Amino acid sequence: MRQNKRLKTKKLTTYLSSYKKEFVLGPFFKLLEAVLELFVPMIMADIIDVGIAGGDTTYILWRGLLLVGLAAVGLGFSLTCQYMASKCSQGFGTDLRNALFKHVNSLSHAEFDKFGASSLITRITGDVNQLQTAVAMLIRLASRTPFIIIGSVVMSFIISPKLSLIFIAAAVLIAVALYFIMSRSVPHYKQVQGKLDDVSQVTRENLAGVRVVRAFSKEEYERKRFDNAATSLSRTATIAGAISALLNPVTYLIINMAVIAVLWFGGVTVNIGGLKQGEVVALVNYLTQISLTLVVVANLIVIFTKASASGARVREVLDTATSISDDGNAQVSPVENAAKVKFDNISFGYGGGKDVLTDIDVSISSGMVVGVIGGTGSGKSSLVNLIPRFYDVTKGAVEVDGVDVRKYPLSQLRGKIGYVPQQTALFSGTLRDNMKWGNSDADDNQIMRALEIAQAADFVNALPDGLDTVVSQGGRNFSGGQRQRLTIARALVRNPEIVILDDSASALDFATDLALRKALRTCLNDCTVFIVSQRASSIRHADVIIVLDKGVAVGIGTHSQLIDSCEVYREIVTSQEDSGNDNDKEATSHE
């Protein structure tokens, strides 16, 4: 555990390496400023012991000027330190964000799924911010407190070695108090975080299920649930606050007890001539200085606790290596007469877990339309996701043009494929920008042709700005069905050799769906098309239909072959078509 932590720190600090100069110089200037500050009580002691005791007004004035001078120089030092801290921490944060984003981009779907998009977003933004703050505070404040404490102890030693024992004792007591209070309040703050998540969960559920809540008129019940969560949060927060609120009173108490000790033992020492009055004042001043710097310690500890949690989350992402790599793969040339796509007896499981696809063996020749059908969790999407190598098989091989997909450079492999995902992701920019995603050289004619095939030309032409229409974030200014057709068109602009429609016509009405399939067949002659669907009607005219059931290909063939030979296929088809009597089906399903 401890070793782990060290490994972590070491790795994240590599992002500081470009800012080594700032990282070292920042605290150095802070140190200089602290040293100057430590002279102040000594000078004040001189004013008392030499100036006042000797009645020397010029001396007092000169010392006063010296104090102002020191403060001015100190200001210069501390501004330098602040600048270094800002530059170093912002630079660190920027580099870390770039590295994270780049890394996330390189992750395969398997790793990406593990984190989820929203968690990755928080890690890149919120968590890095937290780390950035911690770096700045480390340079600006964390170095200052120990300097001042140690410096004060040293100065007290110079003034009176015997009385410095009081300082040491106070320092130790403060450290112990800090440790006790912090080690008790930090776990409470973690609990607070958990309770806050509960509060958010209730809100989330209520927003997602607002229709159900209102249909049952359960607003009052939900308010009570929220009330409970909120009350529990405020209770835990109050307890955590009560513990950490001890910090300042306790340190103040320790410091002032030390002051009493300094007064008494200082008096004793002065009486035997070992110390002057002004020096006692100086010692008291040093103690005050310590207590002033301690105030920030509590805040620092909170900042660092948060940062260490953030650091762990950031590291977790960076430590996740991508499982899909094309390092060292050179351009490959297709094997002649090979199948366009071949699943060579493959098996596949997510994250090495249970197989979601087992022993699938099928060859698809160029130009074929392939239908993939099966219930939820049957592995339909997984199967087609293997072709662009979003995931790697655990057994066997997927071949495109006779070559194992793992031997391709990813850009070459994916360049052959027009992939249309389940989720219709469009991006900010104009429609034209979106259409040119896979083919930046495409002209408007090519784009319009693709839109026509995708049955999107009509509504795009009807837009006042046509292809210049601005797509808002996520494409919210288009309906679900329109988005699907646009994403299909986007894939076609690439002139792909293989088109994969991963359940991506689900929002189309049947007439449009039919027109789309007709257009795909007539306009893209040499193109191999995979249609993943839950609708039997969408795939019934495919050249080959692959029927999946719990990851096993229980039927491969045409509609008419399968309707005779494949039980699962028949079940799906009949359940979706007019099948008359429900009881008949019930009987077959129970056999």
Which residues in 105-134 contact another protein (CB under 8 A)?
Answer: 105-106, 109, 112, 117-118, 120-121, 124-125, 132
Residue from 68, 331, 353, 526 touching another protein (CB under 8 A): that is 68
Question: Could you give the CA distance from residue 356 to residue 373 in angstroms, rounded to a whole number?
Answer: 15
Residue from 31, 35, 48, 309 touching another protein (CB under 8 A): that is 48
Using CB under 8 A as the binding rule, whether residue 463 contacts another protein is answered as no
Min dist CB 3 to another protein, Å, is 32
Using CB under 8 A as the binding rule, whether residue 379 contacts another protein is answered as no
Element at 79 (helix H, strand E)? helix 57-106
Q: Helix, strand, coil % (nearest 5) of the chain?
A: 70, 10, 20
User: Are the C-beta atoms of residues 124 and 101 closer than 8 Å to each other?
Assistant: yes
Pairing, β 544-549 against β 552-557: antiparallel
User: Are the C-beta atoms of residues 444 and 466 closer than 8 Å to each other?
Assistant: no
Residue from 20, 21, 184, 204 touching another protein (CB under 8 A): that is 204
Strand ranges (E), 70-224: none
Min dist CB 71 to another protein, Å, is 3
CA angle 421, 103, 3 (to 5 degrees): 130
Residue from 481, 485, 492, 528 touching another protein (CB under 8 A): that is 481
The strand pairing partners of 371, in sequence order, are 531, 545
DSSP 362-373: EEE-TT-EEEEE
DSSP 334: P
Handedness of CA 265, 269, 272, 278 (dihedral sign): negative
DSSP 295-343: HHHHHHHHHHHHHHHHHHHHHHHHH---S---TTPPP--PPTT--SEEE
Nearest CB to another protein, comparing residues 86 and 363: 86
User: Are the C-beta atoms of residues 501 and 529 closer than 8 Å to each other?
Assistant: yes
Total binding residues toward another protein, as defined by CB under 8 A: 171
Using CB under 8 A as the binding rule, whether residue 253 contacts another protein is answered as yes
Question: Could you give the CA distance from residue 514 to residue 528 in angstroms, rounded to a whole number?
Answer: 18
Using CB under 8 A as the binding rule, whether residue 421 contacts another protein is answered as yes
End-to-end alpha carbon distance in the chain? 55
Using CB under 8 A as the binding rule, whether residue 249 contacts another protein is answered as yes
Using CB under 8 A as the binding rule, whether residue 330 contacts another protein is answered as no
DSSP alpha helix (H) spans, 107-125: 109-115, 117-122
Using CB under 8 A as the binding rule, whether residue 226 contacts another protein is answered as yes
User: Are the C-beta atoms of residues 482 and 434 closer than 8 Å to each other?
Assistant: no
Using CB under 8 A as the binding rule, whether residue 151 contacts another protein is answered as no
Nearest CB to another protein, comparing residues 565 and 588: 588
Using CB under 8 A as the binding rule, whether residue 525 contacts another protein is answered as no
Stretch that binds another protein, among 6-14, 169-177, 310-318, 476-484 (CB under 8 A): 476-484
Report which residue type is found at 304.
F
Min dist CB 369 to another protein, Å, is 11
DSSP 332: -
Angle between helices 128-137 and 57-106 (to 10 degrees): 160
Helix, strand, or coil (residue 474): helix
Using CB under 8 A as the binding rule, whether residue 267 contacts another protein is answered as yes
The strand pairing partners of 360, in sequence order, are 346
Min dist CB 314 to another protein, Å, is 14
Min dist CB 464 to another protein, Å, is 14
Stretch that binds another protein, among 15-23, 55-63, 178-186, 524-532 (CB under 8 A): 55-63
Residue from 71, 168, 463, 523 touching another protein (CB under 8 A): that is 71
Q: Which 547-576 positions form the footprint of another protein (CB under 8 A)?
A: 571-572, 575-576
Min dist CB 232 to another protein, Å, is 10
Using CB under 8 A as the binding rule, whether residue 510 contacts another protein is answered as yes
Q: Which 394-413 positions form the footprint of another protein (CB under 8 A)?
A: 410-411
Using CB under 8 A as the binding rule, whether residue 318 contacts another protein is answered as no
User: Are the C-beta atoms of residues 1 and 114 closer than 8 Å to each other?
Assistant: no
Six token digits for residue 552: 């096993």
Using CB under 8 A as the binding rule, whether residue 211 contacts another protein is answered as yes
Using CB under 8 A as the binding rule, whether residue 464 contacts another protein is answered as no
* Binding track, positions 11-30, relative to another protein; x by CB under 8 A: --------------------
Residue from 7, 24, 79, 168 touching another protein (CB under 8 A): that is 79
Using CB under 8 A as the binding rule, whether residue 102 contacts another protein is answered as yes
Residue from 179, 252, 461, 564 touching another protein (CB under 8 A): that is 252
R_g of the chain, CA atoms, integer Å: 36
The strand pairing partners of 531, in sequence order, are 371, 501
- Report CA-CA distances (Å) from 355 to 145, 223, 350: 57, 44, 7
Residue from 5, 20, 21, 518 touching another protein (CB under 8 A): that is 518
CA angle 519, 522, 524 (to 5 degrees): 90
Give the residue carrying structure tokens 């837009």: 463
Min dist CB 394 to another protein, Å, is 20
Stretch that binds another protein, among 6-14, 192-200, 332-340, 357-365 (CB under 8 A): 192-200
Min dist CB 7 to another protein, Å, is 26
Using CB under 8 A as the binding rule, whether residue 179 contacts another protein is answered as no
Stretch that binds another protein, among 12-20, 152-160, 202-210, 449-457 (CB under 8 A): 202-210
